[in-house]
Every structure is written in C-alpha cells, then in structure tokens.
Amino acid sequence: MIKLHVSIVIHGDESVLLVQEADEDYGLWNLPGGHVEPTETIREAAVRETLEETGLTVTLDWLVGIYTGEPGQE
C-alpha cells in the first residue's frame, strides 16, 4: 500500500514555523504535516494537518516538491 505524507512550509520574512513532535519522535522539531487519508486530496490533507498541528487555517500558495523513496527506505 502506498502511504502519502504531506509537510507544510509556513514562513515569514526570516523564519519558518516548526512543530515539536509528541509521539515516538518526542522532542524532535519538524514541519507541520502528516498522512493523507484515503478520501482526501493532497491539498485537503495539508490544510487539515496544519489546522490539527498548529491551530492555523491556511491557504496553500504553491507546491514545493514531490519526493519518493525506494521500498524499505523511510
């Protein structure tokens, strides 16, 4: 099964918003993001994950990139 993940870059003039992970990666800092649900578009997932993790309602401006890894690479 293919799993899609979104990460959202929210930036100011000289800053980028990061969130502190609370699960198994407790303490690590990361871009807001998470898994895409089967019924969602990538855009919907990005907006939902941002709201869940930061409380911010965002409008997406552009796509930064799409990246893939070989099977077994995490």
Mean pLDDT of 25-53: 92
**Cα gap 5→49, rounded to integer Å:** 10
Amino acid code (one letter) for 63? L
**Cα gap 65→57, rounded to integer Å:** 21
pTM, whole model, 2 decimals?
0.80
Mean pLDDT of 30-51: 94
**55's tokens:** 């409380």
**Cα gap 44→20, rounded to integer Å:** 22
**45's tokens:** 């997932």
In the block, tokens 């898994």 appear at 35
